[in-house]
Amino acid sequence: GKTTTAAALALRAAEQHGRRTVVLTIDPARRLAQSLGLTELDNTPRQVKGIDVESSGGELHAMMLDMKRTFDDVVLAHTDPAKAAEIFANPFYQAMSSTFSGTQEYMAMEKLGQLHARGEWDLIVVDTPPSRSALDFLDAPARLSRFLDGRMLRLLLAPARTGGRSMFSLVTASFGMFSRVVQKVLGTQLLADLSGFVAALDSMFGGFRQRAEQTYRILQAGETAFLLVAAPEPDAVREAAYFAGRLREEQMPLAGLVLNRVHRPAVADLAAPESRAAAERLAAAGGHEGTVEVLRAHATLAEQAVREQQVAARFTETFPEVPTVSVAAQPADVHDVDGLRTIGAAISRS
């Protein structure tokens, strides 16, 4: 329910509070586009039509991260056309910008920084990847800095910075031994592609780090709020607690937990044991089959509600200062704007 919650919050901000809102999804699932009535999402904000913003004056835009296009845009913005063409043609860049682990999360940081810098939005909602993968989003700046400051990268950059024609032109015994080992492991062509990629991007590395650190500071700012979304199930709540602990360590502002798909019996005062006992008495008496089935169904639902409350307590007892809201399980999947309004209203009422 994470993507649905993000879309519902963005929709409510636009319709009820008149805010110019954009929702960015990093998750490759297409449900966000479908729920907002869009045929597709891409790297450019698309305005959502057919929503009720006439009285509020708000706007809702939606987009889905395209990490390769975002990487290409960064290159184009910070290099001249000739250098950009050289980078785009490099096989290592082509692989890194499309498939390398961590690139998506770093480019999400880039895109968030771009949206924030434009100053066009009253609210930016970011739908991160599920569970612990979302931590990659927080870790992207630190991982980038480690990469840029790494020994291997400095060795690869050394020939380019000293005017050498290739990475093997630096004549030192230690580097010669290093290059032969790496060449044997990676192969000459891959190493040459990597060296060319590093040399071409050398002038941009400082900008990468600086922008990542700026975005990280935005995530720590008072204007930012993290909202965890979890179903009342042991694994999901455990992941939410782990994430909350990391946010606390990183001094990130945690606004609350949304417990999604919570089950609530229609008659809260009728406990499961009493409901089952009544069902058994009526079954023994005969002639009350419909009522028996209803009582048994109620007992099952009441037992599930108690289990969910116990699971949720594992989070609330560990983080008593974090507000928690509950959204009832819906009879069907949320796939349209009306469904999003229902979710948004449930979060607001809580």
CA dist 130 and 29 (Å) reads 11
The tokens of 46 are what?
């698309």
The tokens of 134 are what?
């979302």
pLDDT the model gives residue 195:
63
pLDDT the model gives residue 280:
93
E-strand stretches of 246-297: 254-262
Pairing of strands 324-328, 254-262: parallel
Note the pTM of the prediction, 2 decimals: 0.79
pLDDT the model gives residue 162:
47
pLDDT the model gives residue 210:
77
Report DSSP state, residue 320: T
pLDDT the model gives residue 37:
77
User: Residue 126 — φ and ψ, nearest 5°?
Assistant: -110, 120
Q: Could you state, in chain order, the average pLDDT of each consecutive group of 10 residues for the chain (350 residues)? A: 90 95 80 76 87 91 86 82 83 73 74 89 87 66 61 52 45 45 49 63 65 82 92 93 90 92 91 94 91 95 95 95 93 86 85
Contact 121, 62 (CB under 8 A): no
CA dist 278 and 50 (Å) reads 50
Q: Which CATH class is domain 2-158+179-265+319-348?
A: alpha beta
Cα separations in angstroms, 281 against 276, 287, 288, 303? 9, 11, 10, 20
Determine how many CB atoms are found less than 10 A away from the CB of residue 144. Answer: 20
CA dist 4 and 342 (Å) reads 11
| C-alpha closest to that of 246 among 105, 144, 136 | 136
pLDDT the model gives residue 328:
92
pLDDT the model gives residue 350:
53
DSSP-derived 3-state class of residue 296: helix
Measure CA 231 to chain center: 16
